Amino acid sequence: MSGTNDSSSAVVAVSDTELNALLAEINGALPHTFGDFGGALSWAVPWNTQQQITAYNAARYFLDRYAAPGLGVLDHLKGDLALATDPLLDPANALESLIRSPRGQALGQAVQTAMGSVATQVSVDEHALAAVQLVLDPSSIQYPDRNIIADYDFTESRHWGATASTVLGHFERHLHTTGMCSVAMAGLSAYTLLARRASVYLIKDLPDNVRYGGAAWVNLTVAAAAIETVTPGKVLNMTFAQVMLSAENTELFDPDVLGLAQTFALIDWGLVNGLLKEKEDERRTETELNAVRDEFQRQLKERLEASEFLNAKIPTRKEIALAKLKQRFSGNVPFEERLFYNGVHVVMNGGKDDLHSLLDIAMVDSPRHYTWRTEKEHVRYLLPAINAPLDLGVADDFNARFDTAISSLKQGTLFTLKYLISQLPLRDRENLEYGKIDFFQSKIYKLGTGLWGRELTATDPVLTLRVERNGEVTLYSINSKNGIIAQRYDHPGKATEKPDPHKPSLVHAIERFESEVPLIGTVSHSPLPTPKSYSSERTRLIAQTFVNHLDLDNESILQAARGQTTSEQQKARIQAAVDFVLNLIPFKSAISSFIKGDYIDGAMDLFMDVLGFVTAGASIVAKLAQLATRTASVLSKTLRAARIVGTFVISELNPLSAFLAAGHLLGKGVVFVGVKGLRQLKKLRGAGRGTDLLLAMNKQRAPVMVGTFKVGEQSMEGVGVLKDGNWYHYNAKTDRLYGAPIDLRPTIGRLALGGFANKDLARLAVKLSDIAGLSANAQGIFRSADGQRFYIRNIDATGNEAIYWIRNDFTLSGDMTDVVIVDPTTNRVQGSRIRRVAADQWEPISARGGDLPSGAVDVPAGTIVEESASLASQSVHTSTNPLNRHSAFSRERLPNGLWKPVIETVSAKQTAHLPFDWGRMSQVRYSFERTNIHEALSTPALSRLTVSTELLDPRRAGYSPEIATQLAKKDGGAEFMFVMERVQPAAINSGEFNALKIHDPKVDGLPKQANAVAGYWAPQGGYVDVPMHPAWDQPDHLFTPGFSGCSLVVDQMDTTRLRVRHVEGAKELAQYNDLAREEHGLGLSTSMEFHEYGLRVDKNGNADSILTGVAFMKYDRSLRTWTLHFQSSQGAASIMKFSSVKSGWLTQADTLAMVYSDSRVVKVVTRPVPTHTGRTAG
């Protein structure tokens, strides 16, 4: 049932004075040490089916041997142990006590031994927890199902419309009756299983009207599931208010995970609401899911409308007349003083009266035959206007507004009743949908003083329904004051009359109330379908009957609202009548008061209303408004405007087939279940992609390697740690190894994730015996026994180990350790400095870049031009610049294969007539996150997303003085570590772009992912020299500012060196063409000139718009060649303001981007950089 609580709202949070503490708790609420109490079952790499069987058998063998027959696993662990508190009062600590008891540790050790897992500080606890889970729920090993736990189906129909506590009670009884535990341990056993599988049932302070299958339940389950995937076990320590407020910050959640959570929640909602039939999740079609989503959104909109309708204000003629008088007469006019008379008795206000106020006259739209007078000199100037006559149209305005208000109240009540009926348990919904219904009103009459006649004095706002179905009669009451539908047992279910025992003149009558059409019962010998209660015609008729019962069209309400006088006595009668109407409307007074800001006792910041909405006070809303949001639909904005929190607007549902297929690809024996399964799978797939995993291992001194291992039947890449001759999985979050030994195959070529290649420096290695008996310190450095020498150990991507002698001036700075290797034969320093990225993993400070990961596929949006073949045969280059069509520029090839060092000039006058045809410009805030720079610089990605270079400007990005100084160095340039940010402008659909940025160690620390590349810097108006063939410790990329008129030119200076110039627009002669011959070396290798990127050309070959460009160079170590890449874009976004601070609960990053509606990539060009192996120019 909907419950019997008479309060008008369920308070779910604290007062405003404690708001900041509440918001801090949301971010700071920490899970228990055991997380979601899944132990080994919650590892990133899960046990397959066979491993789970092995663990279960080991646990079962242990219990059969040591536990009393028939005793549940938690009962055995408790034994004679005295718990500090009642397990039901503090289940988390009670479970921790059991796991860490001697019996719990023995169970964990037995399972760990059977699994052959590595021993760590927590491994016994993890195996004990996994054993408890498997013993309590053995069927999930081979038949996992997101809604079935310990053979108990949480979707069974008796739960529909039930509270979480009711469902929890059923589950506890099931565990006891099936022999899984004793009555005493039933609550703790249920907590243990639900903590990992369905923590939504364990959220604290759940309002009574949050019920399984309702819209509020959908929002709650989605929020809880999303939070759990980020921080397993956190929901167990959160209140309902905290969970719903967390749901407002959806940017914290993986969109795929959030989408899947919404899909699962809506499947269950659709089943409960008769929109779906029972079948496996993977058999749900996209058409089915979209239909459910559309109905959910439709109902959400109607509930929002109901809130607005119920807030409709019943007008009074006084208010209308007073407002119109103030518009008509300026100054300090005594509108309500009774100063006017007509010379005769005037029948107004229901009787004869001599003096009247200007307000009285306006309220009745003074008749033309009245001539008003006054004895008061200070108001005589008003008489001409009053006697004109004074017709302000109050009556017509009042009638129109009154009709609108009453209509709104009716519609709001109708929507509310439909929602309340849809939230009832299934049996009650079936009764109302298929039973025969009679309606009854309770009334009080006062007998007349004569022999007959009586007067109706009161009608009970409660409407009673007598429902007969299958021979059974059930009585229901709809309590209009509190918005509650409940069974009642104090009603005869028929028409009756009886005198009041205390006042014989009063008669209490129960009378039938007729509906629009008779509601007869449905007779069927086969099961009837689950009612679509909200949208069914039967529900509408019941709701309409209730609206009719309220009798909102009663003439007395109209007369009360007319407000015939301003006297105190009459005012009281008006207010009584209006209050009567308000009390008839479910939650009307609570909603209205809240919207006005009149909170009960001034202490209500959150409440859940009868429509299932959690509404926030102004103080919370003000802080939530600071949250960064990428896009906001109209419905989302409506929710925010109505101060409604925690309600998800579902734009599209994730196809289940995509997730299920991804899981099935792993092969038989490995199953990922539910939302956590998707998060687990995604983490697993990305486990080997970032050096952040390795950087987290600074305290681990065991060898680390990136490689592939089997999960099911599929190979996956990840990080392995060598211990006692075996490779083990590594948990970066806990900085611990876990699980049984794995067959890890090294990933050859993943040098960024392993140490440098030892074969390249074999001549510098010393003997392994040089560190025999020595231990490395926390920074991975070994010190000889005499203290005179220092060494490092490096394990490369092939697993080979080597020892190197280092100079004793190594740098220890925070998490960064960098050293220089010494040649043992010459005692001289060799190469540049190298840094420690993980235990026994060392890389050059100038880390090389990487290629786009294999298998990456993208559909280009711009044209892709590969020029390698087309340029090879050219002997003369002739420009296609449409601005110089009548005097085409040409350049000859030199005998050495290079080009004559000259580029085309373009003046500002030639481009002055061209527009920037990029569409509508907007300045918007944006959010950003680090992305894979290798993929972002790939041709497919460049053809799809524009690249911004504004963050290369130290004034925008806030670099340290050292970086800013080097950026300004015109002669010789510099080199930096570069990263890429993915930028998402707010409220711009498909407006993402990438932003190139320098990684500043003094500001940003070490790169968090393996996607930073070392690159040379070619400053605007300057140059940088780069090696033709960079060594392993030199950068293999080159970057430069963006282009909007400039050119990029590459000269080969000699057999070892290239000079890359960023020539400024209109300065081609001074900065390149007119330079001395020796400044060009052997000749021009390649160039990117303005017309090649900066002009949009129409179908007739004419330039019609200015474009902009971005260029970079990359060295291919396998082909031993440089390549120039450039992107030509229309309306590329630019960053105006940048802040490294991410938006949070109480802060909003100061960001601003300039974006254009017609932004797109026009083309991407790949151009070779040819070189000459001789020593002279042609």
- Is 1142 contained in some domain? yes
Residue 331 CB neighbour total at 10 angstroms = 4
Tokens for 950, please give them.
Answer: 């504004």
Residue-range definition of the domain harbouring residue 733: 686-845
Same structural domain, 1062 and 1110: yes
pTM of the model: 0.60
Query: Please, what is the end-to-end C-alpha distance for the chain in angstroms?
Result: 93
Same structural domain, 374 and 480: no
Question: Which of 779, 811, 845 finishes a domain?
Answer: 845
pLDDT at 91: 94
Q: What is the Cα–Cα distance from 652 to 200, expressed in whole angstroms?
A: 23
Same structural domain, 693 and 800: yes
Question: Are 110 and 140 contacting, i.e. CB atoms less than 8 angstroms apart?
Answer: no
Tokens for 636, please give them.
Answer: 């989302």
Q: Is the peptide bond before 961 cis (omega within 30 degrees of 0)?
A: no
Tokens for 609, please give them.
Answer: 């209303």
The candidate with the shortest Cα–Cα distance to 206, out of 240, 229, 179, is 240
**CA angle (559, 562, 565) in 5-degree steps:** 105
Mean pLDDT, each 10-residue run in order, the chain (1178 residues): 34 37 55 91 87 95 92 92 78 94 96 94 96 96 91 94 95 96 94 96 88 90 86 89 72 70 90 92 86 90 81 83 91 90 56 74 75 89 87 86 86 90 94 96 84 80 94 91 86 92 89 93 87 94 92 72 49 48 45 35 42 52 41 46 50 49 42 54 48 40 65 70 78 82 64 63 90 82 88 79 85 63 84 69 52 33 71 75 83 90 90 87 84 88 92 88 90 89 70 90 61 90 95 90 95 95 93 94 95 88 92 89 95 87 52 88 93 66
**CA angle (472, 475, 479) in 5-degree steps:** 160
Residue 369 contacts by C-beta under 8 Å, 6 or more apart in sequence?
Answer: none
Same structural domain, 739 and 841: yes
Same structural domain, 441 and 387: no
* 3-class SS of residue 665: coil
pLDDT at 132: 97
Question: Are 1039 and 1018 contacting, i.e. CB atoms less than 8 angstroms apart?
Answer: yes
Q: Name the residue with tokens 């300004």.
A: 968
- Is 732 contained in some domain? yes
What is the torsion angle, in degrees rounded to the nearest 10, for the CA atoms of residue 20, residue 25, residue 27 and residue 29?
180
Q: What is the Cα–Cα distance from 888 to 141, expressed in whole angstroms?
A: 75
Q: Label each residue of 826-895 as H, E or C.
A: CCCEEEEEEEEEECCEEEECCCCCCCCCCCCCCCCCCEEEECHHHHHCCCEEECCCHHHCCCCCEEEECC
pLDDT at 1151: 82
Residue 862 contacts by C-beta under 8 Å, 6 or more apart in sequence?
Answer: 942, 943, 944, 1127, 1128, 1129, 1160, 1161, 1162, 1163, 1164
Q: Name the residue with tokens 């209308």.
A: 320
pLDDT at 25: 52
* DSSP secondary structure code for residue 545 in this structure: H
For helices 255-272 and 286-310, give the axis angle rounded to 10 degrees: 80
Same structural domain, 966 and 879: yes
Q: What is the Cα–Cα distance from 167 to 424, expressed in whole angstroms?
A: 15
Same structural domain, 443 and 359: no
Residue 604 contacts by C-beta under 8 Å, 6 or more apart in sequence?
Answer: 9, 11, 15, 594, 617
Residue 911 to residues 142, 421, 799, 889, 916, Cα–Cα distance (Å): 71, 69, 59, 17, 11
Same structural domain, 538 and 490: yes
Residue 369 to residues 153, 346, 384, Cα–Cα distance (Å): 80, 12, 14
The candidate with the shortest Cα–Cα distance to 721, out of 739, 733, 711, is 739
- Is 611 contained in some domain? no
The candidate with the shortest Cα–Cα distance to 680, out of 44, 143, 100, 56, is 44
Q: How many CA atoms lie within 13 A of 710 on its CB side?
A: 10
- Is 276 contained in some domain? no
Question: Are 443 and 461 contacting, i.e. CB atoms less than 8 angstroms apart?
Answer: no
Phi (first) and psi of residue 1009, to 5 degrees:
-140, 165
Tokens for 75, please give them.
Answer: 């009962």
The candidate with the shortest Cα–Cα distance to 11, out of 600, 589, 644, is 600
pLDDT at 561: 64
Report which secondary-structure segment, H or E, holds 1153: strand 1152-1156
Same structural domain, 332 and 432: no
Tokens for 951, please give them.
Answer: 């963050």
- Is 156 contained in some domain? no
Phi (first) and psi of residue 869, to 5 degrees:
-75, -40
Question: Which of 845, 879, 909 finishes a domain?
Answer: 845
- Is 49 contained in some domain? no
Domain count, the chain: 4
* DSSP secondary structure code for residue 282 in this structure: G
Q: What is the Cα–Cα distance from 808 to 832, expressed in whole angstroms?
A: 15
* 3-class SS of residue 577: helix
Same structural domain, 818 and 875: no
Same structural domain, 827 and 889: no
Same structural domain, 810 and 752: yes
Q: What is the Cα–Cα distance from 852 to 938, expressed in whole angstroms?
A: 6
**CA angle (61, 67, 72) in 5-degree steps:** 95
- Is 818 contained in some domain? yes
Q: What is the Cα–Cα distance from 841 to 796, expressed in whole angstroms?
A: 7
Strands 1037-1039 and 1013-1017: parallel
pLDDT at 635: 46
Question: Which of 550, 573, 599 finishes a domain?
Answer: 550
pLDDT at 72: 94
Question: Are 199 and 230 contacting, i.e. CB atoms less than 8 angstroms apart?
Answer: no
pLDDT at 630: 35
- Is 20 contained in some domain? no
